[in-house]
Structure 1
Amino acid sequence: MSSTHALGFGIDIGGSGIKGAPVDLHKGRLAADRVRIPTPQPSTPEAVAETVGQILDEFDWRDSFGCTFPAVVQHGVTRTAANVDRAWIDCDAAAVLRRVTGRDALLVNDADAAGVAEAEFGAAADHHHGLVLVVTLGTGIGSALVNHGKLVPNTEFGHLEIDGFDAESRAADSAREREDLDWEEWGGRLQRYFTHVENLVWPDLIVVGGGVSKKFEKWSPHVRTRTQLVPAGLLNEAGIIGAALLAHG
């Protein structure tokens, strides 16, 4: 593989910011400092696609690219919309990105992209022959399931009903902040959540991403799982890296 083919490009679309950078696909890391532009308001598909195009132009990137999105994504169509304009619901987003940016785009759920990156280059890199669950704890709960190195897309385990509640409404990091829970109290919520998920899919490893992965030592002592629980390794770069990997195929 030539050095040019070792590069990909990833874009990470969020409710507040859109980030992107070229990615070294051999080493699993950014090949240049990422560029971040605030998400346009309203965050319609056209407006977001134009911002994505600005980031690609910033690096003079003319080839295909991978792009994360906070939604269920089926074959380039965004079926839901979290923290973005409702015009994304049932939008052929890949087609909009292609038309506006002039490049082919592979669109993927943001947690799925992070999961692929963690499985290939991050905390789960040594578990290619097992079932890995990646859970991102933030405003909501994102999930990715990677079986023997292959992504099982759009699992949406953050929306499991547990004790009569949508799981993320009780166990996301936003719930900890909103209810002013201490680490032990929040750990109890996570304990209930992880036990439930373990009994459904029986993973070999659970990787926890999101901002609280940096504070793993504060809450993890209050969580007991039969599955090994580890913090994510790629942190905020996982989405960009995973999107570039998936787009490269």
Structure 2
Amino acid sequence: MSVILGIDIGGSGIKGAPVDTDTGQLLSERYRIPTPEGARPADVQGVVRQLVDHFALPGAVGVTFPGIVQHGHILSAANVDKAWIGLDADAAFTGATGRDIHLINDADAAGLAEAKFGAGAGVKGTVLVLTFGTGIGSALILDGVLVPNTELGHLWLRDKHAETWASDRARERDDLNWKQWAKRVSSYLQHLELLFSPDLFIIGGGVSKRPERWLPALTVSRSRVVPAQLQNEAGIIGAAMMAAQAVPGVAEPAVPASSRPAKPAAAVTAPMKSAAVKKAASKPATPRK
């Protein structure tokens, strides 16, 4: 059994737990500390250090971050202080905690976890994990391998910026009912189908807790659509998985489909309607704020 601490940095809270990376199970209750106001680097590093000290687990630590992470450096910052941009965060967190820290984009972490231990377990081919919340996070998985930092929430649908128009925040802001919101999401998914032809869409974020409200109203042409299963644990699990891959001698285990627990039948599939899909012209992606 490989046990690694996973930490998930969110806009309102920073939470962590030790993870058995062989099974994807959390081995204790999550411990959560509110995100410091402004989410400045030094303050967030201090909270991560508190979580590391709380669990006192030796070895590497995986940490999610709400922005683009490339080779440990932060290239964008969403809902956190702009001082993060350009920072070698792997080195900064390692210095602050005394542990070998490995960062990963938050949506990528959730995608890794869902693809291996959640709704995408055992699925071959292309899987797109999308998290609907304040924005739209994305993770592209091909045969279990992550293509990092896809940032597909920043695509344009004609004159619509995807996450500004179809996120869960947009649903609340525009006072949409679930059917109206699902119509927007359907347009977005149809555009992604034209670009990537995924075998499976996994829809995460807070909306995944009540899929019966919106899933039957989604319309796609050829892909399956299911709700995410790991919910608030996905980021923690994915962060630990990524750290396991990065540590020499601690290979991320391959879990055969036959050894995974059966998934609940409640994973609803969206109707496969063959209505014509209008191809939306894409504009260049805008940088994440």
Compute the TM-score of the two structures, normalised by the length of structure 1.
0.96
Name the residue aligned to 2:270.
none
Kindly report the root-mean-square deviation, in angstroms, between the aligned alpha carbons of the 2 structures. 0.8
CA distance in 2, matches of 1:50, 1:104: 15
Q: Which of 1 and 2 has greater Rg?
A: 2
Shift of 1:172: 0.2
Deviates more, 1:140-149 or 1:55-64: 55-64
* Structure richer in helix, relative to its length: 1
Distance 1:155 1:74 in 2: 12
- 8 Å CA contact 1:117–1:242 kept in 2: the answer is yes
1:214: Cα distance to partner? 1.1
Measured in 2, the distance between the counterparts of 1:115 and 1:9 equals: 18
Instruction: Give the SS at the match of 2:47.
Output: helix
Give the structure 2 partner of residue 235 of structure 1.
231
Pairing 1:244–2:240 present: yes
Q: In 2, are the aligned partners of 1:124 and 1:207 still within 8 Å (CA)?
A: yes
Q: How does 1:1-249 map to 2 (within 5 A)?
A: 3=1, 6-127=2-123, 129-225=124-220, 226-249=222-245
Contact in 1 for aligned 2:4/2:57 (Cα 8 Å): no
Report the 3-state secondary structure (helix = DSSP H, G, I; strand = E; otherwise coil) of the residue aligned with 2:62. Answer: strand
1:56-93 CA-partner distances (Å, limit 9, x unpaired):
11011231110000001000011000011111111111
Tell me how many residue pairs correspond in the alignment: 244
Partner SS state of residue 210, structure 2: helix
1:222 CA drift (Å): 1.3
| Distance in 2, Cα, partners of 1:42 & 1:214 | 28
Shift of 1:118: 0.5
Q: Which has the higher strand share?
A: 1
SS of the residue corresponding to residue 91 of structure 1 reads coil
The offset of 1:166, in angstroms, is 1.2
Q: CA deviation at 1:42?
A: 2.8
TM-score relative to the length of structure 2: 0.83
235-244 or 41-50: bigger deviation: 41-50
Runs of 5+ unmatched residues, structure 2: 246-289
CA distance in 2, matches of 1:191, 1:120: 25
Distance (whole Å) between structure 2 residues aligned to residue 229 and residue 248 of structure 1: 29
Do 1:56 and 1:62's aligned partners in 2 also have CA atoms closer than 8 Å? no
Q: Aligned with 2:122: secondary structure?
A: coil
Q: Hey, what's the Cα distance between the residues in 2 that align with 1:152 and 1:48?
A: 27
CA distance in 1: counterparts of 2:162 and 2:205, whole angstroms = 16
Distance 1:172 1:95 in 2: 33
Contact 1:70 1:109 in 2 (8 A): yes
